[in-house]
Amino acid sequence: MKGIAIGLAALFVAASPVAHAQNTAGGGADRISQADLDALTDARINIVKATLQLTPDQERYWPAIENAIRQRAKDRQERLQGVAQRTEGRAGAGPVETLQNRNPVEFMQRRAENMTQRAADLKKLADAWQPLYQTLTPDQKRRMGALTIVVLRDARNGVEGRRMQNY
């Protein structure tokens, strides 16, 4: 239990800057650097690995998982950069002009492309986890489940926070 508490505390410390980075990804001077994002991804990977306490036999499955996590983070950052670029392109327009010039069909197409990319990344991540998950002990599965709940709750809170900022 002590290991779980340490892992969860470290996750909160690492996840807070990630949530902040998500909120500021489109905003000027306080935009987080690529080096910072890479460091946060490294921290998240290390937290998951430390929480699971993999055996030497299980370690052979880890590189595929780490690659999938890194690719997912990279693709997400690229999507956020695309949003920031589109937002900056409209920055000179007034609010009424911006609303009138939005093309809902283009919006739906971009959204569909983003969802397709996110689904593909999630599928790759699930496929990478499958062989390792089959070798986890009940205790490791419990720790992974607890970590997943914390991450999902933090992600939900980040989404709700961004929605509230948009109102």
**133 φ, ψ (degrees, to nearest 5):** -55, -35
pLDDT digits (tens, 9 = 90+) for 118-143: 999 999 999 999 999 999 999 999 99
pLDDT at 34 over 50: yes
Q: What is the DSSP string of 55-91?
A: -HHHHTTHHHHHHHHHHHHHHHHHHHHHHHHHHHHTT
Q: What is the mean pLDDT of the chain?
A: 79
Least confident of 4-13, 36-45, 50-59: 4-13
Q: Helices 34-52 and 62-89, interaxial angle, to 10°?
A: 150
Give how many domains the chain has, as a whole number.
Answer: 1
Comparing C-alpha atoms, which of 78, 62, 23, 88 is closest to residue 140? 62
Q: Please tell me whether the overall predicted TM-score, pTM, comes out greater than 0.75 for this model.
A: no
Give me the pLDDT at residue 91, please. 57
- Domain span including residue 71: 2-165
pLDDT digits (tens, 9 = 90+) for 79-117: 888 877 777 766 555 555 455 667 889 889 999 999 999
Confidence of residue 20 (pLDDT cuts 50, 70, 90): very low
